[in-house]
Amino acid sequence: MLVALTDPIDPAGEALLRAAGHDVQLPGPDGLDALLARADAVVVRRKLPDDLAARAPRLLGAIRQGVGLDMIPVENCTAHGILVANVPGANADSVAEFAIAQMLAILRHVEAMHAALLARGWDIARAQTATASELRGRTLGIVGVGAIGTRLGEIAKHGFHMRVVGHRRDRSALPPEVEYAALDDLFAASDFIVLACPLTEQTRGLASADRIARMRPGAWILNVARGPVIDGDALLAALREGRIGGAALDVFDVQPLAPDHPLRALPNVLLTPHSAGLSQEAVVRMSTGAAEETIRILAGERPRNFANPEAWDVSRARRQAMEAAAP
């Protein structure tokens, strides 16, 4: 069967697909649509069209190489019997460590010291340490305590002796390292707020103007989730006015970040290009995990991380009809 890749995956994942007997192709000169029209499955690393089923009449599965399903039109897939799967937890260590690295860089002024050392000399660079501080004893608020949030809580609590509070829909599922906090309380109490939740209609704009206004004057907000989880205009105003410490942003409403975006001119931001989950180890795990789920779906099996199990019966009926119609 033909597996379409929206973008290259790690060679280990591609090797698994080929060893299972499948053809693996990237978009050619005719673009992704032409490839989707022939594909039996697609491994997803970019946003798919909302009318996916109409463009991909043979498609049996859409498999996210990663966690966030906002790149896949899940409702459209479900209605047409296209199975959706992802690989939750594959990049949890990578994203959690990235958030810790951001907090350390912020408190120890790593970027400012580097620039000062190169441009202005040793003594000026060392002067940055006058306001350097430690993570120990500070409060970390985690919004979305899934695999990433759980790992981040473990590192922060046991590695840095931070107080960790968190918010998730099912508070009974919080790990022991994380105290439950209502969202408004979490924003008001935290020195660092890490957004690690999926993008849904419920989380869109979750970091609202009202909640940003509740943040401590020196607090930082870190977004490793999706750009629209934050009210961008409210955040920009708070940063410009110095009402919060700053923002470390790995994701944005529109990506790549525009060259003239006002965030680029602010001194109290740390910007990275949607790279928190892209360590070498995480990329291998995500690629092989997505390949394994693809192989299961094309073999007629249920995926292990089934995002739309309600599509199963329709999928089975479609598959049987396709097999009966085959020459």
The two beta strands, 41-44 and 179-180, are: unpaired
CATH topology for 2-88+280-325 is: Rossmann fold (3.40.50)
Domain boundaries, the chain: 2-88+280-325, 92-271
Using DSSP, state whether 327 is helix, strand or coil.
Answer: coil
- How does DSSP assign 31-58, residue by residue? BHHHHHTT-SEEEESSPPPTTHHHH-TT
Reduce the DSSP state of residue 217 to 3 states and report it: coil
Q: Do domains 2-88+280-325 and 92-271 have the same CATH topology?
A: yes
Backbone angles phi and psi of 238, in degrees to 5: -65, -35
Note whether 303 and 83 are within 8 A (CB).
Answer: yes
Which tokens belong to 42?
């697609």
Low-confidence ranges of the chain (pLDDT < 50): none
One-letter amino acid for residue 57 of the chain: P
3-state secondary structure of 20: coil
Mind listing the pLDDT tens digit for each residue in 22-54?
999 999 999 999 999 999 999 999 999 999 999
The pLDDT tens digits of the residues spanning 113-124 come to 999 999 999 999
Q: For domain 92-271, which architecture applies?
A: 3-Layer(aba) Sandwich (3.40)
Q: Is the pTM of this model over 0.75?
A: yes
